[in-house]
Amino acid sequence: MNYWLMKSEPSVYSIWDLQREGQTLWDGVRNYQARNYLKAMQPGDRAFFYHSNADPPGIAGLMEILETQVVDPSQFDAASPYYDPKSGCADPRWYTVRVQFVAVLGRFLSLPELRATFTPEELEVVRRGSRLSVMPVSQTVAERVLALTTVSSQPL
DNA sequence: GCCAACGTTGGC
DNA sequence: GCCAACGTTGGC
């Protein structure tokens, strides 16, 4: 089981939106490295839900990867802001995952706090200028992150 | 709202 | 394949 960190702007889609909906398709990722990480995910993996462009930015929740290797349908939708006219149905360019809500953290972990706790080598999101929206998190760092907050256990 | 950092595009 | 121009991300 691997851990990941996935960013979303809460004004667009927040951890509370996921809590209400239970699960969602993580569509709209249009960066090749982030897509490669999405492709590497396996069902049962866990991911931290990171609120970007928030006040303060930071880790807000936890989710589980439900379904992988999903073709992102928004790339074919001309009305979508994520439409990619260069992607064809025969050879889709963008893949994503379906995620399941697990928990809202009992205490959010702000970016300043993460910076104070982890080096850029340990946790890529604290790196200056880090723009990747999906990134891996090592088991040890994930456990240290979880130890900093409270996560009410929710049956899935 | 600003702007630094970064990714992508396209001319050559 | 280089690189300047441009667009986007995201912290502050």
With the CA atoms of A34, A40, A44 and A46 taken in that order, what torsion angle do they form, in degrees rounded to the nearest 10? -30
Covered bases, chain B (protein CB within 7 Å): 4-9
CB < 7 A to strand B: residues 85-104, chain A: 86
Q: Residue A55 in 3-state DSSP?
A: coil
Nearest to A52 by CA among A9, A92, A89, A14: A9
The whole-number average pLDDT for the span A94-121 is 96
pLDDT in tens, A70-82: 999 999 988 888 9
pLDDT in tens, A45-66: 999 999 999 999 999 999 999 9
CA-to-CA dists, residue A14 to A7, A38, A83, A101, angstroms: 10, 19, 22, 11
| Cα–Cα distance, A88 to A8 (Å, whole number) | 26
- Measured in angstroms, what separates residue A86's CA from nucleotide B11's C1'? 20
A131 CB closer than 7 A to any strand C atom: yes
Q: Which helix (H) or strand (E) holds A38?
A: helix A32-40
Proportion of chain A above pLDDT 70, given as a percent? 97
Q: Is the dihedral of CA A45, A19, A54, A113 positive or negative?
A: negative
Covered bases, chain C (protein CB within 7 Å): 8-12
- Measuring alpha carbon to C1', the residue closest to nucleotide C8 is A131
| Cα–Cα distance, A101 to A110 (Å, whole number) | 20
Task: Please say if the pLDDT value at position A153 is more than 90.
Answer: no
Task: Please say if the pLDDT value at position A85 is more than 90.
Answer: no
In chain A the domains, ranked by start, together with CATH numbers, are 3-147 (3.10.590.10)
| Cα–Cα distance, A31 to A93 (Å, whole number) | 10
